[in-house]
Structure formats: structure tokens, C-alpha cells
Amino acid sequence: MYEAYGEEQAEEILGVNLHHVLVYPCLSVQPPLQQLRAVRPLGPDRTLTEIWHFRLKDAPEVIYQRALGYYYLVNSPSTMVNADDLFNWWKVQHELNSNASDWVSFHRNAGFDVVEDDVRKSTPGSMSEMPMRHMMQVWKNYMASNDGGK
């Protein structure tokens, strides 16, 4: 990277620490884990979750092998990481099909978000659901648009 971008820009690139990048509406890119996760609705009661691991161009083999080992660890059927996500999505779908409630709660840390340079951010060190609240607001606005979401 130093040869391609110079020391200053390479350090700036390497200094970015993002765990998840959410690409609306249903793609999650996890740069440090070298994986992509897509959640694709197939019908009102069926969803396909796909996870792809990728190799960084020109990166040493050891970086690929380390990320691949982590990929197998967190996406195994026996792990709590992916299994917990899938179970939570299943619970939401099950609840929305019931007569119990029409609401999905994304209230954790609501009202404690910070705004810096006109950008709303989760409270540092919190487990805020601000990204999900924002995504649902965007979806609501999109669906309520004059063209019916088309």
C-alpha cells in the first residue's frame, strides 16, 4: 500500500476501523473479517441469508488464512454469533405474523445519539440501535414516496 498510495494515504486508509458497513437495504460488509452478508427476502415468510468470504488482492496468504479461520468460526452452525442473528431474525418474523404486536422495537439507547458535523452517530461505546432506526425511517420514507416506492 505504501508503494501504491504513499505513506500518508496508506496510513490514513489503514487507520479506518469499521466493523460493519451497512449497504441499504440488506447487505452488510465486514472489512476486518473479509466477508459480505446479504439478507434476501424470498417471500413474506422466507428469507435467504448468504455469507461470502473474500480474498484481499495482493495481500499475504497468512491474512487470508486468518480471516478464513474466523469466517468458519463465526458462521458455523454451532457458533452463537451467526446462529444468534438468524434466531433473532426468525423471532421478529414469527412475532410479526402473530396477533401480538405490529411493532419492532429499536429503542436501545434512543435519545442518546450524538451529532457531529451534521452526522448522527451512535453514542461511543454503546450498543445503540441508531443504525436500524435510521434504516427503518429511510424505508418508511421510501415506501411513502409519491411513486409508491417504485
Element (H, E) at 88: helix 80-96
Cβ atoms of 76 and 86 closer than 8 Å:
no
Q: Please state, in angstroms and rounded to a whole number, the distance separating the CA atoms of residues 39 and 52.
A: 12
Other residues' Cβ atoms within 10 Å of the Cβ of residue 130 = 19
The mean pLDDT value for 10-38 works out to 85
Tell me the C-alpha to C-alpha distance, in Å, between residue 4 and each of 8, 9, 11: 11, 9, 12
Beta-carbon contacts of 134 under 8 Å, excluding residues fewer than 6 positions away, are: 120
Report the pLDDT value the prediction gives residue 147, as an integer from 0 to 100.
62
Relative orientation angle of helices 61-75 and 80-96, to the nearest 10 degrees:
40
Report the pLDDT value the prediction gives residue 5, as an integer from 0 to 100.
93
Domain ranges in the chain are 17-77, 106-150
Q: Please state, in angstroms and rounded to a whole number, the distance separating the CA atoms of residues 2 and 47.
A: 42
Enumerate the β-bridge partners of residue 121: 114
- Per-residue confidence at 146, pLDDT binned at 50, 70, 90? low
For 105-125, the pLDDT digits (tens) are 788 888 888 888 888 777 777
Tell me the C-alpha to C-alpha distance, in Å, between residue 107 and each of 27, 129, 130, 139: 22, 7, 8, 17
Question: Does residue 150 have a pLDDT over 70?
Answer: no
Enumerate the β-bridge partners of residue 36: 29, 52
Report the pLDDT value the prediction gives residue 124, as an integer from 0 to 100.
75
For 52-72, the pLDDT digits (tens) are 988 888 889 999 999 888 888
Question: Does residue 148 have a pLDDT over 70?
Answer: no
Percent of the chain with pLDDT strictly greater than 90: 10
